[in-house]
Structure 1
Amino acid sequence: MKKSQHPLLRTEAVWVALTLIIVFASLRYDDFLSPYNIESFFSYNSMFILISIGMCFVIMTGGIDLSVGGVVALSSVMVAYVSPYGIVTALIVGALTGLICGLINAVVIIRLRIAPFIATLAMMLASRGVALLVSGKQSVPISWEGSFPEYGMGLMFDLIPWPVVVCLVIAIMAWVLLEKMPFGRAVLAVGEDEEAAKLMGLKVNKTITLVYVISGVLAGLAGVTLAASFGAGQPAEGVGWELIAISAVVVGGTLLTGGLGSITASIAGVVLMGLIFNILNFENGYGSFTISTYWQSVIRGLFLLLVLIIQAEVLKRLRNKKTAQ
């Protein structure tokens, strides 16, 4: 079986690029390393880290989850309604919302044998539709009493935003799950060759179910952060977030064909892409040039295309090397 980190995938490239960008930005912009910029950057991007971790597990099995953006929106709306009952209740409701969506995805894919692309696309449309129906097509304000607003705007030990703390805990759990537990080996085996995994006695359907449930739960938790940070459930938010997660995972070296991936490199991919747009915002502030959000989407798409081209070339060389042997 392949290991989750493979030198030919050059996952270390994302770390090199990340280091170079941080050095460049810290030298060019006075406020780049300011506590405010660091806190706001990681607090906002913690949502993308969560959905990217879930997406990484799914893609490693050879699947795809296009529903995460819709699930985030639906979760944020559901959480806003229960926000008067505190952050614990909100976290449970958000996670359950995502769990149900992820479980439905898994059932449709496994039992009905619908391709993951189609199944999760349907869930994306359904979850977004439910979010709009439940919210009445408008934002749902959260309750400003109790512990819920503190989650989105407070700091642990007056230092780390609470969404970042939760994100760190989940990232560590995900890394342990992939690198140290039998489940991680099963995920990689299913992605490498599903039929071979069945012959090995692995519970393929259970593994696939769990990765979609994990993806759904993490999208649900991202919805909690969205509602708490923006002060309202956002039924129209999350559009294109699935593409951001896929981009980050691919930038981190995970194969879209499955069987290979890295949680830490996927997180680095999120941070790398986030820093690129953070730098563009600084440049906008400097007045050097102005890039609209539309052009930012173009840049993100071109960046993803470049990474896919590089990844395809690496895989081609890997196949040629195996053939020569």
Structure 2
Amino acid sequence: MRTTTKESGPAPARAEPLGASRGERLSALAQQHGALVTLVLVALAASVGFDTFATGDNLANMAVSSAFLAVVALGMTFVIITGGIDLSVGSLFALGGVLAAWGSRYGTAVALLLPLAVCGLIGMVNGLLIARARLAPFIVTLAAMLLARGVLLSVTDEGSTTYLVDETSFFARLGQDTLLGIGVPVWITVALFALGALALRRSRFGQYVYAVGGNEDAAALMGAPVARTKIAVYTLSGLCAGLAGALNAAWLVSGVTILGTGMELEAISAVVIGGTLLSGGFGFISGSLVGVLLLKVIQNVINQIGSLDSAYQQVVSGAFLALVVIAQTWLGRRRRML
């Protein structure tokens, strides 16, 4: 009789009780789609409670205002899946808007390419320091946040100069025009998320992102380019922040210098609320979009109430983030136990 050694064949599958496998599936579904269920429930409750919530104008404005944060959260998703963090995106968002407004005097191409080049370069430097010099992402991106804000103040004479965008230019139309009743920034955001989801789920680069976040040492042993992957995701995060800032400048037809403060925390909150683990190795693009929409719907509901101070937005967002992190930790432990 021929015997098969462990090395020459696959290991036998471990038999699991039906209840355990079902519980594991339920935990995974809750972790992946919990934010979507919450979004639907909150939106339905708001539609019933406020006559102006489900109107076309309110939904259109909420979609456009969500688009800029969503683009930033897109880049942040890749970073967090690798187990990193990027605190510079808020400052890069503001810097991108100012550079776009300044560059719009020389045409749409300059208005778009200048913030992409500068913010992408800062993101790439972040990646190089983190991947090659092995510095902590928190410290590196915190320094980049201060650097970007300093460049912003230098370009705007300590914030005293606000660059305006010609409302008749093609660049302004990118932010203000609509297509089928939906703002152009929303369509751009949808296209970017589709490309991001495709890259994360269907490309070798996406496999490397998950591998690095799951176990960096194991990924290196498997031949994954760990350093290049980290550099790529931080560069992508910088590009997304710069593009979001440029689109926001086109929407506001000006480069507002005070924007972006705290945006990095909003982006991180949206990504985590959407189901991406802060520890890395698990996450998905669609979840981040749902997280952004959930935060914006909650903010809109608070505005609809009217009697509540705007500070409640931060309170509710923080409470949601804490609950989601607790739920993720519990679900992760439950899946390991099963």
CA contact (8 A) 1:151 1:163 kept: yes
Q: CA deviation at 1:156?
A: 2.1
Q: 1:293 offset after TM fit, Å?
A: 2.3
Aligned to 1:3: none
May I ask how many residue pairs the two structures share in their alignment? 311
Rounded to whole Å, the distance in 2 between the matches of 1:295 and 1:16 is 22
Q: In 1, distance between residues paired with 2:169 and 2:247?
A: 16
Contact between 1:39 and 1:161, CA under 8 Å: does it hold in 2?
A: yes
Task: State the TM-score, normalizing by the size of structure 2.
Answer: 0.88
| Equivalent in the alignment of 1:202 | 224
Note closer, same or farther for the CA distance 1:8–1:15 as it changes in structure 2 (3 Å cut): closer
CA contact (8 A) 1:78 1:94 kept: yes
Measured after TM superposition, the shift of residue 9 of structure 1 is 5.8
Match of 1:35 in 2: 56
Q: How far off is 1:8 after superposition?
A: 6.2
Secondary structure, in 3 states, of the residue corresponding to 1:215?
helix
- Retained in 2: the 8 A contact 1:8–1:314? no
Query: Is it true that 1:293 corresponds to 2:320 in the alignment?
Result: no
Alignment of 1:217-256 (within 5 A): 217-256=239-278
Deviation at 1:318, TM superposition (A): 3.0
Tell me the residue number matched to 1:287. none
Q: Could you report, residue by residue, the CA deviation over 1:77-106 in whole angstroms, capped at 9, with x for unpaired residues? A: 111111123434322222222211111111
> Unaligned regions of 5+ residues in structure 1, if any?
1-5, 285-289
1:58 equivalent in alignment to 2:79: yes
CA–CA separation in structure 1 for the residues paired with 2:321 and 2:30: 15
The CA RMSD measured in Å over matched residues stands at 1.6
CA distance in 1, matches of 2:30, 2:221: 27
Structure 2 unaligned regions, length at least 5: 1-26
- C-alpha displacement at 1:269, in angstroms? 0.6
Greater shift in the superposed pair: 226-235 or 204-213: 226-235
Secondary structure at the counterpart of residue 315 of structure 2: helix
Does the CA-based 8 Å contact 2:112-2:246 persist in structure 1? yes
Q: CA deviation at 1:237?
A: 1.1
Matched, 1:305 2:322: yes
Considering only CA atoms, is the larger Rg found in Structure 1 or Structure 2?
Answer: 2
Q: Is the 8 A contact 1:80 1:143 kept in 2?
A: no
- TM-score (ref. length: structure 1): 0.91
Q: What's the counterpart of residue 122 of structure 2?
A: 101
* AA of the residue aligned to 1:277: Q
